[in-house]
Amino acid sequence: QLYREARECLTLLSQRLGSQKFFFGDSPASLDAFVFSRLAPLLKAKLPNGKLQQHLKSLQNLCNYCTSILSLYFPWDGGESHLKPHPAGSDEGEEDPHKRRNQLLSVLVGLVAMLGYAFLSGIVSIQRGGVGPAGRQSIAMEEEEEEE
């Protein structure tokens, strides 16, 4: 039933678009951005079940709509992905030899930022107390501090 409703939705979008370049004429609107954000992945992605993708491909005006937006707003992509696939067994470390170092630095910077925030906001504070001869704060001193 979900596929049937999705196909119906695509068909209605196709009918609404008709032969126009965008849904409300010659310039894009927020609806165009929303519809494109749903249609482009459906049109371009490799899906395990291609029933809905096949239906979209049968609606030529929606395919042209997506291709037009891709070429207009993403010219470097040209509507097709130009990413080079990694050969089998390739090490991603070859692309970025400092990847591990950058990850570690990111974690350290995040940790320092969190600790700094905790100290500055008062969530965590360090208090120095008097230390007795055995290395512990004396009980009498604690009681005096409570009375004050």
Report domain extents, the chain.
1-74
What sign for the dihedral angle of Cα 37, 38, 44, 46? positive
At 116 the pLDDT is 83
Q: How confident is the model at residue 38 (pLDDT cuts 50, 70, 90)?
A: very high
Task: Give the predicted TM-score (pTM) of the model.
Answer: 0.50
Residue 22 pLDDT > 50, yes or no? yes
- Which pair of tokens denotes residue 58? 């049968």
Rounded Cα–Cα distance for residues 89 and 55 (Å): 37
Q: How confident is the model at residue 135 (pLDDT cuts 50, 70, 90)?
A: low
Distances (CA, A) of 42 to 10, 59, 62: 11, 13, 11
Mean pLDDT of the chain: 79
pLDDT digits 0-9 by tens, 88-131 = 444 444 567 788 888 888 888 888 888 888 888 888 777 777 66
